[in-house]
């Protein structure tokens, strides 16, 4: 799922270096900073990877796709 991949990207970047946040406002500012830095190419990569995953599921007759 491309949305899950983008959320994963956000979380990884948000907590790089084991960063922590003192309050909700700091967390929200961090999320906004990370989201603003995501490139169109990164989003496109997540979207286009979905086709390969779907083909993998079909080839594996519905089994877990790697």
pLDDT in tens, 5-17: 999 999 999 999 8
On the question of pLDDT at 63 being above 80, the answer is no
CA torsion 36-38-31-9 (nearest 10°) is 180
Please check whether residue 55 is in contact with residue 66, taking contact to mean a CB–CB distance below 8 angstroms. Answer: no
Q: Is-contact 34 14, C-beta < 8 A?
A: yes
Specify the pTM.
0.73
Residue 53 — pLDDT band, cuts 50, 70, 90?
confident
Phi–psi pair at 60, nearest 5 degrees = -90, 10
Report how far residue 8's alpha carbon sits from residue 4's, in angstroms, rounded to the nearest whole number. Answer: 6
Q: How far apart are CA 61 and CA 39, in angstroms?
A: 34
Provide mean pLDDT across the span 12-35. 95
pLDDT at position 50? 87
Residue 60 has what pLDDT?
85
């Amino acid at each position: 799922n491309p949305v899950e991949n983008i959320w994963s990207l956000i979380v990884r970047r948000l907590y790089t270096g084991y960063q922590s946040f003192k309050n909700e406002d700091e967390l929200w500012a961090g999320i906004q900073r990370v989201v603003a830095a995501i490139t169109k190419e990164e989003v496109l990569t997540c979207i286009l990877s979905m086709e390969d995953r779907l083909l993998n599921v079909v080839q594996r007759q519905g089994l877990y796709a790697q």
